[in-house]
Each structure stands twice: as C-alpha cells, then as structure tokens.
Chains A and B, each alone.
Chain A
C-alpha cells in the first residue's frame, strides 16, 4: 500500500516535471534569441579563443606525436633486448599520461569559450558536423583509457606474451589518436575550404564532402608529421632539462642519449615537412587562387620571412648540436675540419632565404634602385633562389649527420674508396643539379618552376639522402671502431640548444596556426559564413607574434609544471627504494 502511494506521488510529481522540462525547453528555444557574438573582457573574444585553441593544439600535438615513437622505441627494446629503450619509452609515456588531462582541460576551455562567445557560428558548425560531435567524445574516452592502461600496465605486461599485448595497446593508442586528429581536422579544414554545403545558404548537402573537403588530407598529413616533430622536440627539451638537473654520470648519460634520440626524431621528421607544406599550399591555390595569393603575395607575405628566420635558426641549431655531439665520440675529431665549410653554406642559405621579395622603401629609394627590388640581392628574393637555399640546407644537414654516423668508424671493406667516391659524387651531382634548376628557374614559366623544378629539386635531395644512407650500410659492414660514444660528456650549452629547438618549434607551430586561420580573412567559414564581429580583420604580424609568444609561454610553463610533477613521482620512488629495511 505504501509502495502504491509512493508510486502515485512519484507519477504526480514526474508528470508536471516532464511537461515543465519539455515544454519549458521548447518555450525557451522560442523565446531565447541567440546573440551573434559576446565580448570577452579585457583581451577580447578573438584573443581568448586564439590562446585557448593554440595551447590546446600544442598539447594535442604532443599527446598525439609522442606515442608514435614511444611504441617504436618500445618495439626496438623488445627486438634488441636492451632495457634502456624500454625505460626511455616508458619515460615518454609518463609525460603523456600527465599531458593528456591538460589537453582535455584546454579542449574544454576552448569549447566553452566558443559556445559562449561565438554562439551563432557554433550553432552552424554543430548543425553541419552533428554526427562527428557524437563520435569525437567516444574516441576521446577510448584514447584516454588506452593510454592509461598502456602506461599503468607497463610493469604488469613487461614480459612474455603480455609484452606483445602491451605493444598492441600502443598501436591502438596511435590508431585512435590519428582518427581523433582526422575528425578535428575536418572541422578546421571545412572553415578554410568548405565543401558539401550550399555555398549561398550554407545548408548541409553531403556530410562526407563536408569532411573530405579540399584541404583535409593535406592538413592531415602535414599535422601528422608535424606532431612527430613537435613531440620529438619537447622530449628533447625534457631530456635537456633533466640532464641539467642530473647529479650522477649515469643519469647524465641516459638523458644525453634520450635528448639525442628526441632531437633526431624531431629533425628527421622536420625535413619532410616542407614537402607536405608545399602540397598543402598547392591544394589551397587550386581551391581558390585568391586564398593562395593572399597567403604568398598579400598581407601575409612577410610572414614567410619570419618563418624563414625560424627554420633557418632551427637548421643552424640542430647542426650545431650534431657538431657538439661529435666531440663526445672517439674519432669524431677527424671531421671537425669540415664544420667551417658546412657553417658557411648554411649561413649563405640563411641569407638567401631571409631576403624579402619586395622591400619596403621610400619613393626616393625606389628611384635610386630602379624598382622595388634591390639591384644586387633582389634576385634572391624569388622562389627559385629560396627553394635552392632550402634544399642546400637539407643537403648540408644530411652530410653533417653522415659524418656523425661514421665518427667512430673506419671502413674495412676492400671497396671503401670506391664507395666513398660514389657518395661524394652523388652529393656533388645532386648539389650541381639543384643549383642548375635554381638558376634555370629564373628563365622559365612559373608553372614549370612551381610544378616541375621544385619537385625535381626535392626528389634529387631525397635521392641523395637515401642512396648515401644505403651505401653506408655496405661501407661500414664489419667496420673497425675507434672508440665509443661517451654519453653524458656534453657541454651544458648543448642542452640549451635542445631547449632552443623546442621553443622555436613551438613558436613556429603557433605562427603557422595563425597563417592558416588568417587566410580566411573576414570569414568564419570561407565564403559561406561571414565574420561580422568587431574582430573581423587580420591583425598586424607583430600583434600576432605577441599572441603566439603568450601561447608559447603558457604552454611551456605548463610543460615545465608537468616535468616537475613527473619528477615528484621519481623522488617518491627513490625515497621508497632508499628506505632502510626494518630491524628484525
């Protein structure tokens, strides 16, 4: 009886409640009119969303990039039975476990800011992307749980068949992470190169075309590689930070080695990025010429000079790190004499690459020069010269790494001289070919220069790198060793170089993020939904650089906090291991 009364009372309460909820919600929808925009205090809506998006993206790049090589390093450890690889892979993953929650927090901040500050725009995006908004959180759950099982199950799945299951978890982590990346990229690229909607009304026509829009795959590939680069650079900085704080030679050796591996991953994946970037730019030109012109010849053209300075600094820094690294290898002194030549080539290339296409000059200076291009260095401001300079920098770095690889080795095979000559011939031939195309590029149609010469230059450089690496395998078969690598015997400045590389990569990533957003100009969704807010203009590069700097400092500050948290766990373990056995 009592139960029946309760049921009746419950239904009496529930019914009006349901009416209130549903009808109230319906009335609410009718009554509440969404504002176009809301203002964020002090810094404004755009800057608030900008910082949240960029910091979220930096963390996301880190948590998607690091698992790729964590799993590869773990696999190397299993196949080579070397414990140090396993230790390093686990250390990478420890950083991930902490960074994952920070990524989610910044993702939440970004979402709330967008929902509150840009309601009309978010309303439209959620209409278009509805199914992906349901899939994304599920994927995120799967990614997070896979990561936590992968990290916390490390000890438990250390041996036997369970180790292979552990590796599988690492693989799953990467696959789910990549799908997450593809979904998020669909949102971003749709804003740049929309497809699958009515361009006049914005109405959804085909959800797959919305996702698989013009720049989706170029951005997917570009970001996938860039994430590896970024992850490697941050791991390098982490190792440098730990190296500087190491008290024992053993720790120094471990973090020196870890920093070297992180940096190598960053630099080698970085060498592929310009090709992916070239493809992306080409696709953007094909989608809308105005967009391409805005980026390369319009108000964003000076951005590429900043980019040139950043990438040139990265090339110089990574080469300097390699040269310093040769000092810790017995036999490395044999190659020191070549450093001055490599440095000269690199500096010359920096000079060419950083030459602006059009100088900002007064009318009097134009009269004196006979145009807006400088009579002497003006010839270096065009694509032909810059492409040649970039390829020479890549070639020089590859030669530097070849010296590093063979620093403590002496070839013993009978055909050593011939193979050495062959390698020298390949490098000389490719250098001459790249230079020839660079010079001839001045005298051919732009379509030939862009579509053929640039591609041939890149392919020639790739051929040189790959073929000389393969030749090295034969050349140093059964080679004689002059000594060993003295890991940990690196000067402190080498670790600041690693930190410099990480800071520069992070800054470069922020700058490129700005470039990608700025080419939409005054459109939320290019030529579909116009930005009518007070921020519907592209700010100066200086202002953009200041915001990028703030993002970088916020991100690196949080990363340092994460490093510190990680070290707390280490201290705890050390304390536990040093606790004396209780007296019997």
Chain B
C-alpha cells in the first residue's frame, strides 16, 4: 500500500510541475530562414520575412516597439512614412538602410547611440526584408535587391547618406555611400574622446589609464591594436591580450574614428 502511495505521490508532484510549465506563455523558437538577395519575393513575402527578422534574429523588439515607445528605442509605428522626411532629400529606403547599417549617424531626439550596426548581424537579404517591413509600417515598399547590394558591397562603416536628386531612383553605392576613405587620416583627440565617452566606457574605465569593470586599461593602445580589436574583434599577430574574455563585439562603424581614438589614448 505504501509503495502505491509513493508512486501516486510522485505522479502528482511531476504532474503539478508539468501543469505549471504548460500554463505559462508558450512560444517556439525557430531558426531564421535564410533569405537571399536573389530570391524572388513578392512584396507581401518580403514584409512577412522582414517581420520575422524583426522579432527573431534582429532582436529589434528588445529595444523598439510598435504603437508605443520602446524600452530603449523609438516607436516604429509609421516609420515607413516618417523615414521619407527625416532628412532632406533622402528617400525613405535610403534613410532606413542608413538606420540599420550605421544607426548612430542620425539619432531621434532623446535616444542614445546604442544600436549595433546590423551589417554585423544580418545578411544583405535580411537587411532588405527588414527595410521592406519597416517601410510597410505606414509607407510604400520600394526597396530592391540592387539597393542593398549597392550599399553592402562596400564597407558598412563608410555608409553615409547624401542628398539625392530623385528620391524614387534606385539607391546606389555612389549615391547612398559617401566615399570618405580618400580623406586624409589625421586624428583628432577631442573626437576620439567623444567616441570613448559615448561607447567605450560601458566596459572600460572612464579614465583609460585605469582598469574598468569589464575591459582593461587601454591608455597608449597602438593604432594597429585599435584597428584590429575595434574593427575586426581580433588582436594583431603576436599580441598578448590583457584579459581572456571575448565580450567586446567588433564595431566596424568606428573605422573613421580609429585615428581619433589613437590620438585620444596617446
């Protein structure tokens, strides 16, 4: 009799735990579908795929919201319409591409530059459908594979939207991406300090000569080290890291600030 009681009791406890776990919110997590720029997608398919990227791989919903202000990012309701008027003479798709690939260039009032560049996270196809989805939130979907191909074939760090004569024309590398690579590389320590104070002190100490809560002291870091670590997430050959952690993500969008950071950290 006691054995039967023990068996029934065990079933009861296990059953209660199962019941509780089944009574909380249930979601399945599916892997992101691979989206190629060459895939022939209808407008509806692009929007649907973009919505999926928004809520899964893109993890946009962690900061943004639709219909209300997000915890860290602006309300995206109607962004498809607003995008066309954010910057003078810049089309909605060009603005949205810039927002995804170089999010710190244009900041909505009251929001900090904390969004990572999506070129490091999403494939070109995923960028395209995400733009399509964002355009569908109040605007007209006119993004094409050529627009994305033109922008993402070059270094995302060089993305800079320039005014377009005809906002409905296809976005090309020449029109969307500013070619600033030919500018002389002269470091400005003040600009470097702004970058450091905006981004780096999340992990490094506000005084770069001291160790921070997560990152080590980096005063005197060489240009080679900064270029490798900041842009590629790697170390120069033969360099022995001060810490064994891999927490720092590559920040390719800081390519134009490497000289400034080097000057500031001297």
Q: Which of A's residues lie within 8 Å of B, judged by CB? A: 214, 241, 244-245, 285-289, 293, 297-299, 302, 305-306, 309-310, 360, 363, 366, 447-448, 451-452, 496, 499-500, 503-504, 507, 518, 521-522, 531, 536-542, 544-546, 548-549, 552-553, 556, 560
The 3 closest A-B pairs by CB, nearest first: A545-B21, A522-B31, A542-B22
**Which residues from chain B contact A507 at a C-beta distance below 8 Å?**
13-14, 17
- Asked whether any CB of chain A lies closer than 8 Å to the CB of B236, the reply is no
Q: Smallest Cβ distance from B71 to chain A, in angstroms?
A: 9
Q: Are B29 and A549 in contact (CB under 8 A)?
A: no
- Name 29 interchain pairs, CB-CB below 8 A, sorted by A: A241-B6, A245-B3, A285-B247, A288-B246, A289-B247, A289-B249, A298-B29, A299-B29, A302-B24, A306-B24, A310-B17, A363-B67, A447-B203, A447-B214, A451-B213, A499-B9, A503-B14, A518-B29, A521-B31, A538-B29, A542-B23, A542-B24, A544-B21, A545-B17, A545-B20, A545-B22, A548-B18, A549-B18, A553-B10
Q: A447-B202, A447-B203, A504-B13 are in contact. List 20 more A-B contacts (CB 8 A).
A: A293-B62, A298-B59, A305-B24, A306-B20, A306-B24, A309-B17, A360-B25, A366-B68, A447-B214, A496-B6, A500-B13, A507-B17, A521-B29, A537-B29, A538-B29, A539-B28, A540-B28, A542-B21, A542-B24, A546-B21
Cα of A285 to Cα of B25 in the assembled complex, Å? 25
Q: Are B246 and A287 in contact (CB under 8 A)?
A: yes
Q: Smallest Cβ distance from B25 to chain A, in angstroms?
A: 5
Q: Are A537 and B25 in contact (CB under 8 A)?
A: no
Cα of A537 to Cα of B214 in the assembled complex, Å? 33
- Asked whether any CB of chain A lies closer than 8 Å to the CB of B182, the reply is no
Q: Are A499 and B214 in contact (CB under 8 A)?
A: no
Cα of A545 to Cα of B19 in the assembled complex, Å? 9
> With A245-B2, A289-B247, A363-B67 in contact, is A540–B27 under 8 Å at CB?
yes
Cα of A522 to Cα of B24 in the assembled complex, Å? 23
> With A289-B247, A507-B17, A553-B14 in contact, is A541–B29 under 8 Å at CB?
no
Q: Are A552 and B14 in contact (CB under 8 A)?
A: yes
**Which residues from chain B contact A244 at a C-beta distance below 8 Å?**
2, 5-6
- Asked whether any CB of chain A lies closer than 8 Å to the CB of B26, the reply is yes
**Which residues from chain A contact B67 at a C-beta distance below 8 Å?**
363
Q: Which of B's residues lie within 8 Å of A, judged by CB? A: 2-3, 5-7, 9-11, 13-15, 17-18, 20-31, 59, 62, 67-68, 202-203, 213-214, 245-247, 249
> With A289-B249, A544-B21, A549-B18 in contact, is A499–B6 under 8 Å at CB?
yes
Cα of A144 to Cα of B66 in the assembled complex, Å? 60
Q: Are B26 and A541 in contact (CB under 8 A)?
A: yes
Q: Are B246 and A546 in contact (CB under 8 A)?
A: no
Q: Are A538 and B28 in contact (CB under 8 A)?
A: yes
Cα of A573 to Cα of B96 in the assembled complex, Å? 81
Cα of A290 to Cα of B170 in the assembled complex, Å? 34
**Which residues from chain B contact A366 at a C-beta distance below 8 Å?**
68
Q: Smallest Cβ distance from B216 to chain A, in angstroms?
A: 14
Cα of A288 to Cα of B30 in the assembled complex, Å? 19
Most A-side CB within 10 Å, residue of B7, B9, B246: B246
Q: Are B27 and A549 in contact (CB under 8 A)?
A: no
Q: Smallest Cβ distance from B54 to chain A, in angstroms?
A: 14
Most A-side CB within 10 Å, residue of B10, B22, B23, B213: B10
Cα of A544 to Cα of B247 in the assembled complex, Å? 30
Cα of A244 to Cα of B18 in the assembled complex, Å? 27
Cα of A188 to Cα of B186 in the assembled complex, Å? 49
Cα of A538 to Cα of B68 in the assembled complex, Å? 29
A541 partner, pick from B2, B14, B21, B59, beta carbons under 8 A? B21
**Which residues from chain B contact A539 at a C-beta distance below 8 Å?**
28
Q: Are A503 and B10 in contact (CB under 8 A)?
A: yes
Cα of A285 to Cα of B5 in the assembled complex, Å? 45
Q: Which residue of chain B has its CB nearest to the CB of A523?
A: B31
Most A-side CB within 10 Å, residue of B13, B18, B28: B13
**Which residues from chain A contact B28 at a C-beta distance below 8 Å?**
299, 537-540
Q: Are B62 and A297 in contact (CB under 8 A)?
A: yes
**Which residues from chain A contact B18 at a C-beta distance below 8 Å?**
542, 545-546, 548-549
B21 partner, pick from A245, A298, A306, A537, beta carbons under 8 A? A306
Q: Smallest Cβ distance from B36 to chain A, in angstroms?
A: 16
Q: Which residue of chain B has its CB nearest to the CB of A246?
A: B2
**Which residues from chain B contact A299 at a C-beta distance below 8 Å?**
27-29
**Which residues from chain A contact B213 at a C-beta distance below 8 Å?**
447-448, 451-452
Q: Smallest Cβ distance from A494 to chain B, in angstroms?
A: 13
Q: Which residue of chain B has its CB nearest to the CB of A547?
A: B18
**Which residues from chain A contact B14 at a C-beta distance below 8 Å?**
503, 507, 549, 552-553
Q: Are A549 and B15 in contact (CB under 8 A)?
A: yes
**Which residues from chain A contact B3 at a C-beta distance below 8 Å?**
245, 560
**Which residues from chain A contact B25 at a C-beta distance below 8 Å?**
302, 360
Q: Which residue of chain B has its CB nearest to the CB of A553?
A: B14
Q: Are B24 and A541 in contact (CB under 8 A)?
A: yes
Cα of A257 to Cα of B197 in the assembled complex, Å? 62
Q: Which residue of chain B has its CB nearest to the CB of A305?
A: B24
B9 partner, pick from A309, A496, A541, A545, beta carbons under 8 A? A496
Cα of A366 to Cα of B214 in the assembled complex, Å? 36
**Which residues from chain B contact A504 at a C-beta distance below 8 Å?**
13, 17
**Which residues from chain B contact A537 at a C-beta distance below 8 Å?**
28-31
Cα of A287 to Cα of B247 in the assembled complex, Å? 6
**Which residues from chain B contact A306 at a C-beta distance below 8 Å?**
17, 20-21, 24
Q: Smallest Cβ distance from A485 to chain B, in angstroms?
A: 24
**Which residues from chain B contact A544 at a C-beta distance below 8 Å?**
21
**Which residues from chain A contact B17 at a C-beta distance below 8 Å?**
306, 309-310, 504, 507, 545, 549
Q: Are A536 and B31 in contact (CB under 8 A)?
A: yes
Cα of A440 to Cα of B22 in the assembled complex, Å? 35
**Which residues from chain A contact B10 at a C-beta distance below 8 Å?**
499, 503, 553, 556
Q: Smallest Cβ distance from B105 to chain A, in angstroms?
A: 23
**Which residues from chain A contact B22 at a C-beta distance below 8 Å?**
541-542, 545-546
Cα of A244 to Cα of B14 in the assembled complex, Å? 21
Cα of A214 to Cα of B247 in the assembled complex, Å? 12
Q: Which residue of chain B has its CB nearest to the CB of A363?
A: B67
Most B-side CB within 10 Å, residue of A298, A538, A542: A542
Cα of A314 to Cα of B24 in the assembled complex, Å? 20
Q: Which residue of chain A has its CB nearest to the CB of B202?
A: A447
Q: Which residue of chain B has its CB nearest to the CB of A496?
A: B9
**Which residues from chain A contact B68 at a C-beta distance below 8 Å?**
366
Cα of A503 to Cα of B12 in the assembled complex, Å? 10
Most B-side CB within 10 Å, residue of A366, A503, A560: A503
Cα of A360 to Cα of B24 in the assembled complex, Å? 9
Q: Smallest Cβ distance from B183 to chain A, in angstroms?
A: 33
**Which residues from chain B contact A521 at a C-beta distance below 8 Å?**
29, 31
Q: Which residue of chain A has its CB nearest to the CB of B249?
A: A289
**Which residues from chain A contact B245 at a C-beta distance below 8 Å?**
286
**Which residues from chain B contact A360 at a C-beta distance below 8 Å?**
25
Most A-side CB within 10 Å, residue of B3, B31, B202, B245: B31
Cα of A518 to Cα of B24 in the assembled complex, Å? 18
Cα of A214 to Cα of B245 in the assembled complex, Å? 9
Q: Are A542 and B246 in contact (CB under 8 A)?
A: no
**Which residues from chain B contact A245 at a C-beta distance below 8 Å?**
2-3
**Which residues from chain B contact A546 at a C-beta distance below 8 Å?**
18, 21-22
Q: Smallest Cβ distance from A67 to chain B, in angstroms?
A: 25
